[in-house]
Amino acid sequence: MSDPLDTVFAALADPTRRAILTMLLEDDMAVTDVAEPFSISLAAISKHLMILTRAGLIAQEKRGRVKWCKLQPDAMRGASIWMQGFGQFEPVHLEAFERFLAAELPDRPDK
């Protein structure tokens, strides 16, 4: 894949890689910390990280003996602009959605 947009979408297609990106929203993480919540090998996580790195979605750097991962959110800008061109992907307003549900389903049992 030579098109950057194709590379980004291919990287985002995998649920494990999306979960990794979500984790990196909080802060930079060591590779071993990224791997911890997953029930797959460190080698498998390293492959996912390489795909995310090639897509430009994360950067990896060595600090001492530890390899760290950092989110690169600007890499998603092209995909976001492309999706917005369809006009269907506007920001979700959760409060408005909750009000809509409350109006449509007034007899729903509370949790």
Model confidence over 3-26: pLDDT tens digits? 889 999 999 999 999 999 999 998
3: left (phi over 0), alpha (psi -120 to 50) or beta: beta
Q: Which pLDDT score is estimated for 2?
A: 67
Cβ burial, residue 99 (10 Å; 0-12/13-18/19+): exposed
Q: What is the domain-level CATH number for residue 60?
A: 1.10.10.10
User: What pLDDT score was predicted for residue 90?
Assistant: 56
pLDDT score of 111 = 41
**CA neighbor of 20 nearest in space, from 77, 78, 69, 54:** 69
pLDDT of residue 44: 97
pLDDT score of 88: 61
pTM for the complete prediction? 0.74
In a domain, 109, yes or no: no
Number of domains in the chain: 1
| Domain span at 91 | 4-104
Tell me whether residue 97 is in a domain. yes
Burial of 87 (0-12, 13-18, 19+ CB in 10 A): exposed
Convert the pLDDT of each residue in 37-94 to its tens digit. 999 999 999 999 999 999 999 999 999 999 999 999 888 888 888 888 777 655 556 6
